[in-house]
Chains A and B, each alone.
Chain A
């Protein structure tokens, strides 16, 4: 169970202070899939990064399985079972797809395992294992590999920051299948998304607006209450 208690995050310069997240309280139950949605700039990615420890909150407390993890590094949180797939995957010269999958799984993977991770995102292991994560890969390829890396983590709590962003021509249904398989594994999933189809697959949809959670509930309850302009945007993303 992941508990956010009074989580706030603000950035300030000499002239002003901007509050990105305002006293967020929320409990993520084990084994459920949560979708966080909301307008651009509402604080969704910031919240995801705060959960993983990539950003430290200005105030508040994060508890995971009864332990206060607020001060823990991303390394410590990863070792406690948290996983994070970045919205914009990082490129590395020299590091291959095989390397990153092994770092993610913490062991040497056999071909069956790597095929499993890569075929889930529509890539052939034979073609990609020795490819470097550099600028010779397209943004779409890199994004799929980022999701495959998250699968290789086999974590108890998976955080995906806009997994649909930049997946180019890859079948969107395959992405939905991935989240279905993670649900079957009893993992807890937190997905930041603007995709209506993905939101509908979640157990709970959380709407974040201007740094506040404005709604949280079953997809059919929450989606029907969203502002028409935002719903139109969600549909355009399908």
Chain B
């Protein structure tokens, strides 16, 4: 049978335990709106067996956290970051391509309509000047598309470089928090590391391996970004162009390795760049094929001054850079009478050249001889549309997944003010009861001491 001093010890132990509980509930309430916060709990342990045969004590403060769920959250953050950036980059490109006066299909179509109209007015200076203007509008449209693609690729480069800098900062922060956890596994530090890991996953993908102060952050390609207290750096290197492309490397001391990731915002930007490079190639090929096919026919017909053999569009030696250099021949741009529309030797009323040039609209001379120039121009826009829709769907699915996981996380780790208030009151009442118990024991002891 324990004595009164032992009861006093039980009581003071209980007060301390309830104070810990109060501290935990207060801490939770104080962090009600802290992003990434996991509610804490204090487990009270009763000591029923010998040597104490009674009493209660508080265990260490622990987090409501599920490692498996956290892992899935990080993976989802990687996919969410990838699809969001892909969608943003492609949508921005689409916006750029839509701005200005119409796209390539519209300009191409207007140009061919101008040729058609010249069939009926082959020698008319007004119609010829209008055709030269439409040709200029077509050239501008092709160059504008090319510029839109190149500036979008460059914007992605800048983003990737920014992400690399941020990933390096986060890797160092991860290692630094690891060091703190090694010394003191405070739940706040664990929360911090989880937050960092989630942001890192969103940027470059990857997972946290381990839960202690030696935890590692490993990327999807297996490269280790953080190993315990040591962090590697993520650096962006420009692959020479044009257009130059930013590529990421993991730099760990003297060792460098290429970062190949299919997750995170970096992957989203890289995938967008791949799509843009494909489009750039398509637009170049379209411009190259169109200029060559048109010039080949145009050279065979005579201008109003009787001359022939002139190119209508300036052409490049290869398809690469053809869109950027797509221009109307400067002499034709300055004098529309030089447009060749008649058979050599015929008069200005002959329209055979314009008919032959107009017929190019329907001939399968683009896409490797499979479709018309108009269809090719449309397919470039259509493929971008499908890419944006695909990215949008992926982003929606990722967001939904995020929401589900956030819901699961909230169900486990989220703070409910009602619950915490109830806990606070329960601990407070228990604490008051323990204090009363101590006071009673204290008064009993006092009475006993007075009677001696």
A and B together in one complex: no
Q: Write the residues of chain A forming the contact surface with B, with a CB cutoff of 8 angstroms.
A: none
